[in-house]
Chain A
């Protein structure tokens, strides 16, 4: 059976550092620490759980969840991210979709995905040499209604079961969730950051209590963390995939100048998933 060998979550933007130089340095240092953590686990593949910012899935077609099943990905290029190809794990993507179909999830398969900053920016940090095959898993937080947190939580658990039961022996898989934390974007309260919400999310996930977040509705999360704050559902999925053992906060900076709370956590991955599922 395969194994989840590392899991982490991080915010996925960077903006010009003018006026926030020291905090921006700490954010970059934190992202780099998360990159080192994932690389140290020597993963054979990385599942990247992110939203898409309507560069790939927009109002024309609105699947709740999409899984990339391509052999390679070229970034969309937003935020001046280089359009440099990186490998994809078609086999792992296909296995996820197949297991999902047998488990009550209907995941959309995507061949022509141009990852935007949600997927592509954290990978610049985690795998700058573009060697580790990826599987993008997009959570459509921009549709109405968005997927429910409980659904994301269950899907996160399914990721782990899939890796452990359906993947080849000794395959090492990392899970990287991206996005968040609180942000209100182009809606009332635009630019606000709720530091208390951000710490609450990180604290419950590193305590292995993701179920508390899963019990919220999407509307609850929007009310407390903003429309962009729904990206914490990606973090919830990483926590569930990790087995909800615990973890630690790597960095946090309140960045109203960047319209968001920036944070990152690493998650322990040792607990038996069946124990977690039965808890």
Chain B
């Protein structure tokens, strides 16, 4: 299991306003703020299933990382294609 410092950052990705933008602009500063080691920061920068699993990130929080850093995954896990099809009488 990853250290809580890692999980704390990941579980804030979609909850802390501006965090994603700060990560994009200056990831090292964010990693420092959250108390991450260089290895932990590198794994989050890579944000691949392998790097996240190796770090021991909670499986559901791995999903948060994948959604945050891989736009094609966020596009696939979406209801947009079903507009007008849900809730029919």
Contact = CB atoms under 8 A, between A and B. Distances in A.
A242 interface: no
Interface stretch (A12-20, A154-162, A166-174, A267-275): A12-20
B18 interface: no
Interface string B39-74: 000000000010011000011111110010000000
Interface in A25-57: 28, 31-32, 35-36, 53-55
B78 A124 contact: no
Nearest to A128: B87
B82 A78 contact: no
Interface residues of B, number: 30
B86 A32 contact: yes
A3 to B, nearest CB: 24
B60 A54 contact: yes
A176 to B, nearest CB: 14
Contact of B77 (A13, A28, A142): A13
Nearest to A33: B88
B86 A80 contact: no
What does DSSP make chain A's interface, helix, strand, loop or mixed?
loop
A166 B46 CA distance: 53
Interface residues of A, number: 33
Contacts, number: 82
B81 A17 contact: yes
Given A124-B86, A186-B53, A187-B59, A15 B77 contact: yes
A55 B49 contact: no
Interface in A73-87: 76, 78-81
B60 A126 contact: no
Given A13-B77, A79-B78, A124 B53 contact: no
A5 to B, nearest CB: 19
A130 B69 CA distance: 32
B15 A55 contact: yes
Contacts of A32: 85-88
Contacts of B87: 32, 35, 124-128
A128 B86 contact: yes
A99 to B, nearest CB: 30
Contact of A59 (B52, B58, B79, B82): B58
Interface of A: 13-17, 28, 31-32, 35-36, 53-55, 58-60, 76, 78-81, 121, 124-128, 142, 185-187, 190, 227
15 contacts: A15-B77, A16-B75, A16-B76, A16-B78, A31-B86, A32-B86, A35-B86, A55-B14, A55-B15, A59-B7, A59-B58, A59-B61, A60-B8, A81-B79, A186-B60
